Structure 1
Amino acid sequence: MSGLFGATSSSTASNTVGDLKQDVALTSPPEDTITGLSFSPATNQANDFLAVSSWDKKVRIYEVTSNGQSEGRHAYGHDAPVFMCDFSKDGTKVVSAGADKAIKVCDLGTQQDAKIGEHDQPVRTVRFFEAGGNPMVVSGSWDKTVKYWDMRSPTAVATVQCQERVYTMDVKNDLLVIGTADRYINIINLKNPTTFYKTLQSPLKWQTRVVSCFADASGFAIGSIEGRCAIQYVEDKDSSLNFSFKCHRDPPSGNVTSVYAVNDISFHPVHGTFSTAGSDGSFHFWDKDAKHRLKGYPQVGCSITATKFNKTGSIFAYAVGYDWSKGFQSNSQQLPIKVMLHPVQQDECKPRSTIKKR
């Protein structure tokens, strides 16, 4: 069987080291570190559309064909670095936000973008969600608030006060998960959007970098700066299934273990397995139910700053660039800035039916 970007590799399912040889670079990538990736979830589009936000103050939308070819279709700007972008459910709009404190929506049909709201401080994260069949926007800011927006109104529909600055946020169905400074995790049922359904402190000891909802919205994963990931279920009845594990760490050398931030976590839309990617420049695919790593991939030469699966799970996009984890002095013009498209082979993200114990 031929793979998405060419012939399927002959590696067997027992091989846990993945292959990057068929990965294809996105055409005309951003000019500075990439902060967010979002594929259109619309099922009526023959090709994939990928939105990319960047420190270069732009959001770019690309069309990606099944053979991995890509072409830039549109770009629009903010007045400062853009920290996040997200596609609407029908694939017709992209929302973005960033250091200019503004939330913008771009209509891809007319290629017009408009500011729909703003916060008092930079906006770290933004997502579309559906309310009564209508598309709405939720944004999270360093001003310690989460705001809800109806695109037809210039003022927020509602504001939720958080304990600390919002660092990360994700939405799946009616589940909204918010990660803030001081390791607070707030869970909201979007049917009751102004009340915290539950608040907890991250089971991880260090700063939260990313939260990502399960494909079935029954829980979420947390990634932190200390090279650990936690799996958390929403309901108390499932709490026995919660666990955390180490990832993105070098093997110990003497008494020293180098640990790296987990920069992004993405769930496969079909299989419910997930990826982690980090400052060490590698990504891995995991099966949370079997508590098993499916595949690990060679380091790509620079940090991986953002990841996303397309709507069918046949493409895994990952952004390569400097993530400032080693400070200003480690940045360099020589470091790559690119988005790579990885064709997901049959065995890479499928849960394992049986796990042989060693």
Structure 2
Amino acid sequence: MSFGSPPASTTQTSSIASYDCNVPQAGNDGISSLNWSPTANFLVSSNWDSGIRCWEVQQQSAQQVMASPKAQVNHENNMPCLDTCFSADGSTVFSGGADKSVRMWQLGQTPPNNIAQQIGMHDSPVKSVGFIPSSNLVVSGGWDAKLKFWDARSPNAVGEFVLPDRVYDLDVRGNLMVVATANRHVLIYDVSGAQPREHSRKESPLKYNTRCVSCFPDQTGFAIGSIEGRVGIQYVQKVGNKDHFAFKCHRQDANVYSVNAIAFQQQFGTFATVGSDGVVTFWDKDNKQRLKAFNPIRSTIPCAAFNMQGTLFAYACSYDWSKGSAYYAPGTANEIFIHPTPEDEIKPKGSRKK
């Protein structure tokens, strides 16, 4: 299934709109994740140069945004940082990385040696982290095929699940957590109580390796993206007359590109996908419509996120290694842009005509 129309032009620029804010000091290597504070317009990135960076973002007018660098900490031994998340009150950033550690950084405090405090360890790199509001636990998923739960006050994991394979991505939204692993396994958890419990597990509806997963804002389901340029919409339980479906995206002519990230807009439940084709697209899953297709930029886009108000959309421009080392160009800029997002770009436009 596919819906909507392709981008209007193949002319490539450095950002999806000329007025997008180019975030200063975005790092010296690939950008692996972007996350907004749940309580204020603070943006945090993780980076392959080991850095975790924070900016304060101010929207000064409909098309004018300013981002001010606030602080940076690192993982040890210059090892890549692969993901971050915020605590529910926005005071603390948690991270996971190739040094196998789970770390904590309290914003406004500079830790010793500028290294974020270690609160946990895996046996292999930590691919993804999340924060569970109901229990105030940090969850981490690693390439050791383990899901671990951490209380920042304790050096030992307070819980652990052994998974079918390596973790590729996880997402927590309220009481719902979804974990995607290698070989297309998808595990769904209820994290409403003190002890997370597995709700169900299934095979991905997509035929190829999972790249990303993101829970719906209303927690009724999740979207999953793969390397084949396809997104699956899945419901945890039957919801009215809504059914699972999948659609094609991030394809140009005969070329198929990875869906690198799926970012939901909190207010409307619509979402963005970004991919290895350098394209950002806004979608409405309920009406099965493409809302906005931006022209491709001159870079792959590895990650993206909406702020809590849904008025600002951050996206990174850096090589995602989708074509291997042969296509890596040393000296290529690693950039982050912030796109002011008016309602007419991301708000549902009504039911699709039949």
What TM-score, normalized to structure 2? 0.90
Segment of structure 1 superposing worse, 190-199 or 157-166: 190-199
In structure 1, the partner of 2:13 is: none
In structure 2, the partner of 1:3 is: none
2:279 corresponds to which of 282, 287, 291: 282
How many Å separate the matches in 1 of 2:148 and 2:68? Answer: 34
Once the two structures are TM-superposed, the CA of residue 323 in structure 1 deviates from its matched residue by 0.4
How many Å separate the matches in 1 of 2:350 and 2:241? Answer: 23
In structure 1, the partner of 2:164 is: 163
In structure 2, the partner of 1:122 is: 125
2:295 pairs with 1:298? yes
The Cα offsets for residues 144-195 of structure 1, whole Å up to 9 and x where unpaired, read as 0100000100000000110000110000001010000000000000136453
5 Å-filtered alignment, 1:32-51, equals 32-42=29-39, 45=40, 48-51=41-44
Q: Which has the higher contact order (CA 8 A, sep 6+)?
A: 2
2:350 alignment partner, SS class: coil
In structure 2, the partner of 1:4 is: none
In structure 2, the partner of 1:221 is: 223
2:57 corresponds to which of 45, 64, 67: 64
In structure 2, the partner of 1:8 is: none
The Cα offsets for residues 83-102 of structure 1, whole Å up to 9 and x where unpaired, read as 00111121110001110000
Identity of aligned residues (%): 41
5 Å-filtered alignment, 1:1-358, equals 20-42=17-39, 45=40, 48-67=41-60, 68-79=65-76, 80-112=79-111, 113-132=116-135, 135-191=136-192, 193-236=195-238, 241-251=243-253, 257-357=254-354
How many Å separate the matches in 2 of 1:268 and 1:356? Answer: 24
Asked if structure 1 preserves the Cα contact closer than 8 Å seen for 2:288 and 2:352, the reply is: no
How many Å separate the matches in 2 of 1:159 and 1:106? Answer: 23
Letter in 1 for 2:88: K
Distance 1:39 1:356, change over 3 A: same
How many Å separate the matches in 2 of 1:171 and 1:333? Answer: 35
Once the two structures are TM-superposed, the CA of residue 336 in structure 1 deviates from its matched residue by 2.8
1:329 alignment partner, SS class: helix
Structure 1 residue runs without a partner (length 5+): 1-13, 252-256
Once the two structures are TM-superposed, the CA of residue 355 in structure 1 deviates from its matched residue by 2.9
Once the two structures are TM-superposed, the CA of residue 356 in structure 1 deviates from its matched residue by 3.6
Once the two structures are TM-superposed, the CA of residue 111 in structure 1 deviates from its matched residue by 3.1
2:326 alignment partner, SS class: helix
How many Å separate the matches in 1 of 2:281 and 2:22? Answer: 19
Q: How many residues align?
A: 333
Distance 1:239 1:144, change over 3 A: farther
How many Å separate the matches in 1 of 2:353 and 2:232? Answer: 23
How many Å separate the matches in 1 of 2:211 and 2:242? Answer: 24
Asked if structure 2 preserves the Cα contact closer than 8 Å seen for 1:302 and 1:335, the reply is: no
Asked if structure 1 preserves the Cα contact closer than 8 Å seen for 2:263 and 2:272, the reply is: yes
Segment of structure 1 superposing worse, 325-334 or 275-284: 325-334
1:212 alignment partner, SS class: strand
Asked if structure 2 preserves the Cα contact closer than 8 Å seen for 1:233 and 1:239, the reply is: no
Asked if structure 2 preserves the Cα contact closer than 8 Å seen for 1:279 and 1:325, the reply is: yes
How many Å separate the matches in 1 of 2:122 and 2:239? Answer: 37
How many Å separate the matches in 2 of 1:39 and 1:315? Answer: 10
The Cα offsets for residues 119-156 of structure 1, whole Å up to 9 and x where unpaired, read as 00000000112134xx2200000000100000100000
Letter in 2 for 1:61: C
Asked if structure 2 preserves the Cα contact closer than 8 Å seen for 1:23 and 1:341, the reply is: yes
Asked if structure 2 preserves the Cα contact closer than 8 Å seen for 1:101 and 1:121, the reply is: yes
How many Å separate the matches in 2 of 1:212 and 1:183? Answer: 15
2:59 alignment partner, SS class: coil
2:183 alignment partner, SS class: helix
Once the two structures are TM-superposed, the CA of residue 352 in structure 1 deviates from its matched residue by 1.2
Once the two structures are TM-superposed, the CA of residue 236 in structure 1 deviates from its matched residue by 4.0
1:182 alignment partner, SS class: helix
Distance 1:240 1:314, change over 3 A: closer
The Cα offsets for residues 51-86 of structure 1, whole Å up to 9 and x where unpaired, read as 100000110011111131111111111121000011
How many Å separate the matches in 1 of 2:238 and 2:347? Answer: 27
How many Å separate the matches in 2 of 1:15 and 1:282? Answer: 10
2:207 alignment partner, SS class: coil
The Cα offsets for residues 3-45 of structure 1, whole Å up to 9 and x where unpaired, read as xxxxxxxxxxx99869612211101111101000010011xx4
Asked if structure 1 preserves the Cα contact closer than 8 Å seen for 2:21 and 2:67, the reply is: no
Asked if structure 2 preserves the Cα contact closer than 8 Å seen for 1:16 and 1:294, the reply is: no
Letter in 2 for 1:258: N
Distance 1:314 1:246, change over 3 A: same
2:332 alignment partner, SS class: coil
Letter in 2 for 1:72: P
Once the two structures are TM-superposed, the CA of residue 335 in structure 1 deviates from its matched residue by 2.7
